[in-house]
């Protein structure tokens, strides 16, 4: 709900560039993941993984920066809880993308694998939608743009769920070696959780819109 006297409150603007840094970084890490899952040359893959690690650390720093700012800023553009939740969700997306990449490497999964590629691409799309929505936050006239991006993120997440579910059923049906099943299941499930975290971020964005428009 719009605060009736909101025109009196000087909104703190410095959060927006930080949010955009966080969501831009999520786009970068998702794009780098897509690159990694399409690379079957081991040395190149390791180099891309190091890139993903670097991006994950950048994400951590941005999140930390936002939390510090939150601790020292009296007036915030949205509820403090929502700023916290949005920042955490964006950080989680980067963490889970990194987690999936790390596991692919540690388990020496043969790549490219069509399901993994598909999930990585969906993550890239979800990250771009998240970025659109986050950029929109600066002006609440963008409420419809933000809402539309959130709807698309929800549908991407549903799609990822279906792909994940059938992939697991297929693993159980086709693979004989239980260790192979376990490795693949673990990587797929971390990828799927990354899309869940995109949805969590979208839910916070929707909640911000609900409360502020």
Residues of the shown chain interacting with a second copy in the complex, contacts defined by CB under 8 A: 1, 67, 70-71, 74, 80, 84, 99, 102-103, 106-107, 165-166, 168-169, 172, 175, 178-179, 181-183, 185-186, 206-207, 209-211, 213
Q: In angstroms, rounded to a whole number, what is the distance separating the alpha carbons of residues 140 and 145?
A: 10
Q: In angstroms, rounded to a whole number, what is the distance separating the alpha carbons of residues 186 and 183?
A: 5
In degrees to the nearest 10, what's the CA dihedral of 80, 85, 87, 91?
A: 160
Q: 128 or 147, CB closer to a second copy? A: 147
Q: 70 or 140, CB closer to a second copy? A: 70
Angle value at C-alpha 176, between 172 and 180, nearest 5 degrees: 80
In degrees to the nearest 10, what's the CA dihedral of 126, 158, 199, 136?
A: 50
Q: 58 or 181, CB closer to a second copy? A: 181
Q: In angstroms, rounded to a whole number, what is the distance separating the alpha carbons of residues 108 and 103?
A: 8
Provide, rounded to whole angstroms, the least separation between the CB of residue 36 and a second copy: 17
Provide, rounded to whole angstroms, the least separation between the CB of residue 196 and a second copy: 12
Provide, rounded to whole angstroms, the least separation between the CB of residue 79 and a second copy: 9
Q: 4 or 43, CB closer to a second copy? A: 4
Provide, rounded to whole angstroms, the least separation between the CB of residue 37 and a second copy: 18
């Amino acid at each position: 709900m719009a605060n009736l006297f909101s025109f009196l409150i000087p909104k703190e603007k410095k959060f927006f560039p930080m949010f955009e840094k966080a969501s831009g970084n999520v786009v970068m890490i998702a794009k780098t993941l897509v690159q990694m899952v399409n690379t079957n040359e081991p040395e190149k893959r390791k180099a891309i993984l190091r890139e993903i690690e670097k991006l994950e650390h950048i994400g951590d720093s941005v999140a930390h920066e936002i939390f510090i700012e939150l601790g020292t800023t009296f007036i915030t553009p949205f509820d403090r809880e929502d700023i916290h939740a949005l920042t955490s969700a964006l950080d989680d997306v980067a963490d889970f993308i990194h987690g999936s990449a790390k596991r692919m490497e540690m388990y020496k999964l043969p790549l490219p694998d069509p399901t993994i590629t598909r999930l990585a691409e969906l993550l890239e799309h979800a990250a771009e939608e998240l970025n659109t929505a986050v950029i929109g936050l600066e002006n609440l006239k963008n409420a419809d743009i933000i809402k539309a991006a959130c709807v698309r993120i929800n549908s991407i997440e549903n799609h990822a769920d279906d792909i994940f579910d059938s992939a697991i059923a297929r693993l159980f049906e086709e693979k004989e070696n239980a260790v192979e099943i376990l490795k693949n299941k673990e990587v797929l499930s971390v990828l799927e959780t990354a899309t869940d975290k995109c949805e969590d971020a979208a839910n916070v964005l929707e909640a911000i819109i609900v409360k502020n428009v």
